[in-house]
Amino acid sequence: MSVHRVAVLALPHVLPLDLGIPTLIFNPRPNTPYELTVCGATRGTVTTSAGFTVGTTAGPAALARADTIIVPGYWHYQRPPAPEVTAALKLAFSRGARIASICTGAFALAAADLLNGRTVTTHWAGADELEELCPHLRVDRNVLYIDDDPLLTSAGVTAGIDLCLHLVRKDLGAAVANDIARELVAAPHRDGGQAQFIAQSLPEPTAHTLAPTRDWALRHLEETLTLDTLADHARVSTRTLVRMWRQETGVTAHQWLLTARVNHARELLEVTDLGVEQIAAQSGLGTGTNLRARFRDALGTTPTAYRRTFQRPITA
């Protein structure tokens, strides 16, 4: 497994949580090839938005060696980063590095003219400002992250977890990404967009949630899970289930189940030697033909090609 160098660029007034997400996810592990460097506009210490300082091991020159660069969110994002930082980002992009931003980190990529003509995302509270400062891009306010390879942008703060796990999933497959998600006690994949987190008029408070039903559904993906079945398990009407499901996840139950089934199929392809028909049945996708179609729609590849890329050695 060849080394994959990840540089996390901590700009002045970096948001501590935004900084912590990629450093936790890309911290070296026995089953990952990542080599992590935290760098800053200068080598030394960086003051965070909370007022405490963190040490960096390198300056912007570290970006020249990185395969992946991640720019966490920071305060005072309306001011462009230091010229040496934007120059280093431009140079890294020109040589083919993958560059991702978390939250308001998108403003740094925009300052380096990397986002012109692209659809991007950022924290919902800064979306209007980003479009005003950079009229040659479009902000999608309704997603958790956008993969416009080799440039990726995420929505606010914890959407950085979704983005970083997505990068791991692309590099190493669903099983490794799921292992890291379990370690972080995080969802391996969240559907919906950040619109579900913007303050709105709320319904009457209730202690009822569909989380137990979603957990149950994940354990029964091979079964036929209709809206009536899910509603019976949740002990609510079908109409209430439809409303609550979208309210809690940002997507329909059908979309959620399809994503869960494709992800389960991915993991089975990686960690078992089951045939495509068996995997289709165990993941609830029915037939190998349907599995292939869903893989093509979701991943742009075939189950066989996916297995060839990501399968782990099968132990007896």
As a three-state string, the secondary structure of 40-76 is ECCCEEEEECCCCEEEECECHHHHHHCCEEEECCECC
- Do 105 and 80 contact (CB within 8 A), yes or no? no
The pLDDT score that the predictor gives to residue 199 is 40
d(CA 24, CA 20) in angstroms, rounded, equals 6
Give Cα 220 distance to the centre of its chain. 25
On the 0-12 / 13-18 / 19+ scale of CB atoms within 10 A, 80 is middle
HSE-CB at 133 with a 13 A cutoff on CA atoms is: 20
> Judging by beta carbons within 10 Å of its beta carbon (0-12, 13-18, 19+), is residue 252 exposed, middle or buried?
middle
- Residue 172's contacts (CB-CB under 8 Å, 6 or more residues apart) are 31, 32, 33, 310
The backbone torsions φ and ψ at residue 39, rounded to the nearest 5 degrees and listed phi first, read -125, 165
Q: Please return the burial class of 174, using the count of CB atoms within 10 Å of its CB with bins 0-12, 13-18 and 19+.
A: buried
How far apart are the C-alpha atoms of 225 and 257, rounded to whole Å? 9
CA angle, 300 then 303 then 304, to 5°: 115
Phi, psi of 313 (to 5 degrees): -60, 135
Spell out the per-residue pLDDT of the chain, length 316, in tens: 799 999 999 999 999 999 999 999 999 999 999 999 999 999 999 999 999 999 988 999 999 999 999 999 999 999 999 999 999 999 999 999 999 999 999 999 999 999 999 999 999 999 999 999 999 999 998 889 999 999 999 998 789 999 999 999 999 998 899 899 888 887 766 655 554 344 433 344 445 789 899 999 999 999 999 999 999 999 999 999 999 998 888 889 999 999 999 999 999 999 999 999 999 999 999 999 999 999 999 888 899 998 988 887 765 5
Assessment of whether the complete model's pTM goes beyond 0.85: no
pLDDT, residue 198, reads 40
Q: Amino acid identity, residue 283?
A: S
Phi-psi region at 28: left, alpha or beta (left = phi > 0; alpha = psi -120 to 50): beta
CB distance 151 to 114 below 8 Å: yes
CATH topology of domain 4-184: Rossmann fold (3.40.50)
pLDDT at 190: 66
CB 278 within 8 A of CB 310: no
pLDDT at 250: 81
What is the SS3 assignment for 206? coil
> What pLDDT, on the 0 to 100 scale, is given for residue 314?
64
CATH of 202-316, one of 3.40.50.720, 2.60.120.260, 2.40.170.20, 1.10.10.60: 1.10.10.60
Question: In whole numbers, what is the pLDDT of the chain averaged over residues?
Answer: 90
pLDDT at 191: 58
State residue 204's pLDDT score.
41
pLDDT of amino acid 310:
84
Q: Where are the domains of the chain?
A: 4-184, 202-316
